[in-house]
Structure 1
């Protein structure tokens, strides 16, 4: 099976699992650290969708791929996103998702307060993650997956 199809299938599994954790498991367990784990999984799913789009377009010689992931992401934004009807708002949300994960990885300190996870940067600037924000990212990932799946499967 083509690699881009495998990426789409894997992204579907991750999104289904993340959805279950957010809407079924989280209300029962109420462990806020689950939000960070789900956020990481959503990022992985979106990354798989982006990879699938890039690989699909590369196979059909619409784009060139590079060794640098940032260059590939720029190619995705500039050339692929319009073809797959991915809006500017969705691109901004993807960037925000990636930024959240980057801050989480770099963070020297994170804590839970009320219904929020506070991520502190090295300069002690807080970034707040809420259940609603994670749900927004989950909806974003479902939209990206739908657009990716529809375009890739239409031609296969």
Structure 2
């Protein structure tokens, strides 16, 4: 069964006929060819599929498409080219917070979501903000450093 779903994706209005029980992750990757959200665990444990829905960081592998009716969805592709993304990317690069890159989109999304709600988080708030995202290569100290750097560099835009 397919239904019409209307939502905003990366500042573009979308109207699609889809199975409302299909995972948002699959719609984004397979149908819309947005590859930043990745299948990691498929259970909402790793954060590789993180997107922002209505201002909240959400694991897209756990969201049925029917739940995004009328929602605003943002992926990394929607952040690219913004000042915020540039600051985060530069900070992650400078801090050495990127190694294999698998977790990076989810970490960037978590960092963005955190900084838009708290423009000067302390280390505990950063740890909480990225806590749903698993990094197996880089380690969290460099990621925390990157978020601190981004907060300082972007203090006038967050």
What's the TM-score, normalizing by structure 1?
A: 0.26
- Who wins on radius of gyration, i.e. which is larger? 1
Q: Say which structure, 1 or 2, has more relative contact order (CA 8 Å, 6+ apart).
A: 1
What's the TM-score, normalizing by structure 2?
A: 0.26
The structure richer in strand per residue is 2
